[in-house]
Amino acid sequence: MAKTLTMYMTGGPVQVPATIRGVREALPAELREEFTAEAENTEVGELPMLLARWVMQVPTGYEAEEEALVARVRAGDFSGVRFPDDLTDAYRSTG
């Protein structure tokens, strides 16, 4: 079983690869060579930051859902969308 860790994104918790190989394999093909070159030339102390930055580019299950929403809105379907003018100030109130 591949090693993973949990990251908390805007859409909620997601499992992401926890190894250099796992990150490379999970990245879109067009980014793998760039990632490999950078990982091979990064100092040991900088690896955690490198991995954190690159793992943010690994596609997650939330992205397809968000992309579908954006495509729907771009196509002119605003059903379910709430505009600031439609909201009351109640959501801003702390009590």
| Average predicted confidence (pLDDT) for the chain | 83
Residue 74 maps to a domain: no
Containing domain of residue 52, as a range?
4-61
Number of domains in the chain: 1
Residue 46 maps to a domain: yes
Residue 83 maps to a domain: no
Residue 95 maps to a domain: no
Over range 73-84, report the average pLDDT.
81
Q: What is the 3-state secondary structure (H, E, C) of the chain?
A: CCCEEEEEECCEEEEEECCHHHHHHHCCHHHHHHHHHHHHCCCHHHHHHHHHHHHCCCCCHHHHHHHHHHHHHHCCCCCCCCCHHHCCHHHHCCC
Across 28-37, 53-62, 80-89, least confident range: 80-89
pLDDT at 25: 95
Residue 76 maps to a domain: no
Residue 26 maps to a domain: yes
pLDDT at 62: 64
